[in-house]
Structure 1
Amino acid sequence: MSSATSAEVAVGTAKLDVTPTHPVLLAGYGHRVGEYTAIDTPLWARAIAIGDDRPVVLVAVDNCGVPAGVVAEVRRKVAASGAFDPERLIVAATHTHNAPQLEGYAPVLWEGRDTTEQREHVAQYTKRLTDQIVEVATAAVRDRKPAELSWGQGKVMFGGNRRVMKDGKWVGFGFVEKAPVDHSLPAMFARRDGKVVAVWTNYACHCTSAGSENRVGGDWAGFAAKEIETAFPGANAVITIGCGADVGPQPSGNLDFSRRHGRAIAAEVAKLAAGELKPLNKAPEVDRRVIELPLSKVPGRDHWVSEAKRDGFEGRHAKRMLAQLNRDGKLPTSVPFPITVWKFDSDLAIAFLAGEMTVDYAVRLKHELDWERLWINGWCDDVPCYIPSRRVLAEGGYESDFSMIYYAWPSQFHPALEDDLVTTVKELVGDAFKTAQRAPDADLFLVPESAVPSMKK
């Protein structure tokens, strides 16, 4: 249902099974050893295309993260085919931790622990997935037909902040009740003759409810898509992830929890579909920018020589830094960060952000912009690393420090990254989406007192 009559917009969808057909290493957990041992559920790439002459296209892939190199190759192949404008393509990941490693993603995770054959298997899967992303995106563009497009926001509550603190510093992972989350569940619907033919929804939470066994599966996002497609026969369900890098599914640890969380998503989507939705009467305008997020002081060669003597990830990371110094004569001092915004007139702004976005960015942006007309996605067009807020940087811990080793960066971020990123999003979104009078519901963002300064200029 919608609150007003919608004009028809060209919409197309497609999906493709991307489950590995050969042995391959999985991304997501540093303690795993060897290639996957079983397949619990299939993996999918799902696409939606919106618009007539120059459609926008979103492909959501069941993977831990699709790196910039893969996205660039996808766009190159789309450009060569002439199927549509590759600059209007977004490639997102559901961040399931039970999908194959891709070349270029968190490279230190497997570096030095894999075999030549395993690297070849990763390369083989990466090439296949690249071609499949092109295929499913092109199929969605070809599938376009007039449809009524609308959207609304609901709420799902299974995400819980995972950063356990003591005396203002990070001490480990767990479930912290009174800490930042984003429980919003935006959902978009395409209908033809009253029938739902496509659903796209988003939730800010890690896709880790199945546990860390060395098995292939789509986690809660995969079950959510399956449940939605069962509820709306013939529809295609696209799932993306919001600013949930420090938010974990509660409870977690097995497939039953994944199913439970997937059903929660699907139930809220069904509730939204039966309620009053806001029509979107034309395809969105697109604006894109790549900014450089600053790193803090980068250590010199002596530091890396010393660190290279260590075992484990730290030693392998240091050797990689030394190799980069020998090759380039320097190490990077910033991280390239693509940001894209789709604007459906003044009705809805959708931000696509790269990396593993910590939840403070959702909290801040939805206070400084009109949260009722704002939709934020993470893990889009690249996953260079975690993107911590100023608060998370000050508290330290995995998301701000050790994870940069997995992602092969030479230092943690400079605190200026938060303002740089938020300012750019606000510029791209524009004045039409400035904060409305009504504040977000109290239970949408459970923000502790320590996080409030992060939301103020």
Structure 2
Amino acid sequence: MLLRDQILSATFLILLLSGLAQSLFAGELQIVTFNQDVTPELGMPVAYAPARKIVTPLYARGIVLLSDEKPVVLCAVDAIGIGNEGYDTWREKIAEAAGTSADRVAVHSLHQHDAPRIDFATGRILEAQGLGGKKYDNAYSMQCIQNVANAIRAGLKKPQTVTHLGIGKAKVNKVASNRRLLGADGKVRLMRWSKSKSPAAIQAPEGVIDPDLRALCFWNGEHPVAVLNYYATHPQSYYGQGDVNYEFVGMAREARNQALPGTLNVYFNGAAGNVAAGKYNNGEPEMRPILAQRVEQAMQQAFENQQKMEVTSSDLHWQTEMTALPVSTHLKPDELKSIINDTSKTPRERSSAAFKLVWYQRAQAGHQIPITCLHLKSASILHLPGELFVEYQLKAQRLAPERTVCLAAYGDYGPGYICTEIAYSQGGYESSPGASLVAPQVESVLNAAIEKLIKSAPEQ
């Protein structure tokens, strides 16, 4: 009888202490950082050519946020694009590793043009045509995902407490400019690409851009654990020969890592579909470090300007809108299949047709893309697909002028360019059949999702 009472007392004490421990940790926000090398090997396909040189390594890095809800994962990858089944698989495997659901995982590429493309369905089509490894390397892509998942699992064993959130902003000087220069008739008269030596392109105004870089910093007491940086521009200075590198935005990111030892800096590319460095970049190699320094200075200023505030688990709110994007009417599946099977076509032409066919078939099957938003204190982070026009980013910010609205584009790369409705009647590359796989009605569809997500933010 005495032994039984002792056992019951001990059991009660364990339960009491367990409940006390849970109450002590309830409401605590925690963070896990991860940084995984995803550099391809020489000879593997990157964007427009096989990798001939590794100038810098490539990374997949991000954070896992642990709260009273299921974990949230934000991941930025040095890749030109992760689309369709590739995008789904990245999110599913990362979700499994983090112990969450795929709708709470945001994966975005930075869109460097000397980095890989990832899309398993397109890769399989090309493999069946004897073009495996020409534009996509599925084995490499799957290994990247597995390595990132393992890095997350390892990180979950040593999470850090988040006591404060810092929110900062700074202007980036002489980097971004709008690519589409309109004439008096409202049509595109000149495309200002990532690099330009055209006097007309250089002398024209910057045009519609978002000049500001926004930064969110997660603190553990006096130690900055991670900084998420958001800025909208095509990140190219010069490219296309297979010289693998993370470009000037990656150089800025790494410089900040060196300036803040023990702090992980992550960079997300915003709505940069119609924004590039063409006004300020002539394509000469010496411009890459100059552009990097300008972005780095804004990162530093945003960090120094940040306002710190206490944060707890209850301040984290995640929202998802599953959205079906309207398919462009120019996509003809039979024509695309014919190009894929035509051995007289170049591998690039056949690869492009395969990519378009995969997107078309997914959309026709009713596939929906998750549009998500993380609300944290007075900040909101939107996660969107494709090469999004900057107008979407600016509109999202106007919807909540009292909040800091950050936007990461280049999520699911399947839709290609996502223009504004009027852009489809203005001409130019981005709205052409070769670039955009969605219909002009996409603007109203996306804006409705964005508005719903932004307005779901809780009152402060």
TM surpasses 0.5 = yes
Aligned equivalent of 2:406? 375
- Cα offset for 1:87? 3.1
Q: Does 1:391 align with 2:422?
A: yes
The letter for the 2-side match of 1:360 is E
Query: 2:447 aligned to 422, 427, 430, which one?
Result: 422
CA separation in 2, counterparts of 1:304 and 1:280? Answer: 54
CA separation in 1, counterparts of 2:130 and 2:337? Answer: 25
Query: 1:343 aligned to 369, 375, 380, which one?
Result: 375
Aligned equivalent of 1:134? 149
CA separation in 1, counterparts of 2:390 and 2:206? Answer: 13
Q: How many residues align?
A: 412
Q: Structure 2, unaligned stretches of length 5 or more?
A: 1-26, 193-200
Query: 1:189 aligned to 207, 217, 224, which one?
Result: 217
1:66–1:236 CA distance, 2 compared to 1 (3 A): same
- In the TM superposition, what are the counterparts of 1:19-418 in structure 2 within 5 Å? 19-27=39-47, 32-33=48-49, 35-53=50-68, 54-78=70-94, 80-81=96-97, 83-104=99-120, 116=131, 118-119=133-134, 122-147=137-162, 148-157=164-173, 158-166=175-183, 167-174=185-192, 175=201, 176-249=204-277, 250-279=280-309, 281-283=311-313, 284-298=316-330, 316=350, 332=364, 336-345=368-377, 347-370=378-401, 372-404=403-435, 409=437, 413-418=438-443
Question: Structure 1 residues 96-105 or 383-392, which shifts more?
Answer: 96-105
Query: Matched residue of 1:361: which SS?
Result: helix
CA separation in 2, counterparts of 1:162 and 1:288? Answer: 31
Q: Structure 1, unaligned stretches of length 5 or more?
A: 1-6, 435-457
CA separation in 1, counterparts of 2:295 and 2:274? Answer: 19
1:299-334 Cα deviation digits (max 9, x unpaired) = 768977998999669974897599889x98x98498
1:98–1:366 CA distance, 2 compared to 1 (3 A): same
* Superposition TM-score, scaled by structure 1 size: 0.78
Aligned equivalent of 2:18? none
Aligned equivalent of 2:15? none
Query: Matched residue of 1:265: which SS?
Result: helix
* Superposition TM-score, scaled by structure 2 size: 0.78
CA separation in 2, counterparts of 1:322 and 1:287? Answer: 29
Query: Matched residue of 1:364: which SS?
Result: helix
1:334–1:401 CA distance, 2 compared to 1 (3 A): farther
1:44–1:78 CA distance, 2 compared to 1 (3 A): closer
1:193–1:287 CA distance, 2 compared to 1 (3 A): closer
TM-align CA RMSD: 3.7
- % identity of equivalent residues: 23
- Cα offset for 1:423? 1.2
Query: Matched residue of 2:182: which SS?
Result: strand
1:205–1:301 CA distance, 2 compared to 1 (3 A): closer
The letter for the 2-side match of 1:340 is T
The letter for the 2-side match of 1:152 is G
Question: Structure 1 residues 10-19 or 239-248, which shifts more?
Answer: 10-19
Question: Structure 1 residues 18-27 or 222-231, which shifts more?
Answer: 18-27
Which structure is larger by alpha-carbon Rg, 1 or 2? 2
